[in-house]
Structure formats: structure tokens, C-alpha cells
Amino acid sequence: MSLESIIKRITSLADARGEAIIQQARQEADRLLQQAEAQGQAFSQALLKKETAALDTQRQRFIVQARLEAKKALLKAKQELLDEVFAKVKQELARGKIKKEQIAVDTVREASADIDFFLGQIRLGVETEAAAILFEE
């Protein structure tokens, strides 16, 4: 073998070895790229799931808060209406237009009563019912 053929042979082997290394490097780069894409996709999905759950929780809190505020507004409106009605009843009781009667088995007679005590007893029951609005599910 001549020197020239030996050099050609070595160059050919080196080129083939270089191409094999380059090919192997490309395959490794593709594998690493696919792995990175898969990890990125998994991370993205996990993050999306976590954030979706957090948003769902926040949305539920807003809904509960809005419902509570609506119940409070309804309770306030009913309370204002009750205040108006009881003020009117108190006026009418004071004028004697509405009379409290004591009913027995054989008689019915007018009974004197403290107007505020009488209204307080009625109001307690009504306010209890109104407060139930706030806490009902």
C-alpha cells in the first residue's frame, strides 16, 4: 500500500467516524429535545390544572360571598319593612285602634299591656324567621 492510499484510507475512516459521531450527536439532540418537550408539556399541564383548581376555588368563594351579600340585603330590606310595620302598629296601639284582648273560656275582655313588651314578643319571632334567611342553605 502506498502512502497515498493509506492517507485516503485513514481520511475515509476518519470521515466515516466523524459522520457517525455527528449522526449520534443529532440523535441524542433529538432525544433530548423530545424529552424536554415532554417535560415542558407535563409541566404546562400540571400548572394549568393547578391554576384551574385555584380559579375554581376563587370562583366558588365569589359565588358564596355574592349569595351572602344578597341574603344580607334581603334581610336588611325585611328589617326595614319590619321597623316600619312595628312603628305603625305601635302608633295604632297607642291610639287605641288596635286592642289586645284576653280570651277565656266564657269571656273576652280587653287587656291592658305594655305596648313595647307586646311588640317585643312579636318582633322576636319575626326577627328569628328573618335571620333564618341569612343562614339557610
Domain residue ranges in the chain: 3-135
Query: Looking at residue 7, what is its pLDDT?
Result: 84
Q: Is the pLDDT of residue 137 over 60?
A: no
pLDDT band at 101 (very low <50, low <70, confident <90, very high): low
Residue 79 CA, distance from chain mean position: 28
> CA 19 to CA 15: how far, in whole Å?
6
Amino acid at 28: E
Confidence (pLDDT) at 86 = 77
d(CA 82, CA 124): 11
